[in-house]
Amino acid sequence: MRKKFILAILLFGSGCKAFDPALLNPTAETLPTRLPTLTPEVQSERILLSFSPMAVPNDVRTLFEREVREVLSEPYGKSRGFLVLHTRRVSARPGLGFTFASVLTAGSLNLLGFPWARYRYVVDVQLDVLNQRRELIGSYRGTGQARATAGLYSRTNFSQPDRVLYLQCVRQGLDQIIPQLRPETARLQAALAL
C-alpha cells in the first residue's frame, strides 16, 4: 500500500514543474562584431507570484545580464555606456473559461485531458543604448507573445505560469532586437568610443 501511495504522489507531483532554468540561457545568435563593454540595467515591472512581496523573481535581470555579457557586448574592459532594457506587459489573459468548465464537472474532464486554464501574454521590450553621459544613441523595440495550457497531461504545465510566460516574451523581444542591432553596430561603436 505504501509503494502505491508513493507511486501515486510521484505520478501526480511530477506533472507540474515550477520553472525551466534553460529560459535563462542567452540566445545562440551573436552580433558579428560586439559592442564595447556596457553596463546592463533593467527597468522591468515586477511580477507578483504570490501574496508575499518577497516572492518577486529576478529572472529578467539574470537573463539580460547574461545576454549582454555573452551576446551583445564585450565581457571585459572598462564600461563605455549602458544597455537599458525596458519591459512592459501589454496584456495578460488568464483564460479561465476552462476553469469554469472544470469546476462544473468536479474535475472529471481534467482526468480525461481537458485543460483547466490557458494563459496568454504579450510583452513590449525596448533596448536603449546610452553613452557614459547617459545620452541616448540608439533605441530598439520588440514584442513577445507566449501562451501555455495548464492541464494534468499538458507539457506546458507550470506551477508559476506568469513567471515562465513573461520570461518567454522577453526572450522573443530580445530575439527581434538583435537583427535590428546588426546594421547599427558600427555606428554604435563609433558613438560609444567618444
DSSP E strands in the chain: the ranges are 39-44, 81-93, 117-131, 136-150
Q: Which amino acid is residue 66, in one-letter code?
A: R
Global pTM value: 0.78
Q: Residues 17-40, buried b or exposed e (16+ Cβ, 10 A)?
A: eeeeeeebebeeeebeebbebbeb
Question: Residue 144 and residue 103: Cα distance in Å, rounded?
Answer: 32
- State the pLDDT at residue 135: 93
Going by C-alpha positions, the residue among 147, 188, 186, 184 that lies closest to residue 165 is 147
Question: Residue 85 and residue 129: Cα distance in Å, rounded?
Answer: 9
The torsion of the CA quartet 72, 75, 78, 79, rounded to 10 degrees, works out to 30
Question: Residue 140 and residue 94: Cα distance in Å, rounded?
Answer: 29
- State the pLDDT at residue 20: 66
- State the pLDDT at residue 9: 56
User: Could you tell me the domains of the chain?
Assistant: 18-193 (3.40.50)
DSSP secondary structure letter of residue 112:
T
- State the pLDDT at residue 12: 54
- Beta strand 39-44 with 81-93: parallel, antiparallel or unpaired? parallel
Going by C-alpha positions, the residue among 84, 99, 10 that lies closest to residue 40 is 84
pLDDT in tens, the chain (194 residues): 777 666 555 555 555 555 666 677 777 777 778 889 999 999 877 665 544 444 456 888 888 999 999 888 888 889 999 999 999 888 878 777 777 878 888 877 777 777 878 888 899 999 999 999 999 999 999 999 998 887 777 666 566 777 788 888 999 999 999 999 999 999 999 998 87
Within 10 angstroms of residue 173's Cβ, the number of other Cβ atoms is 22
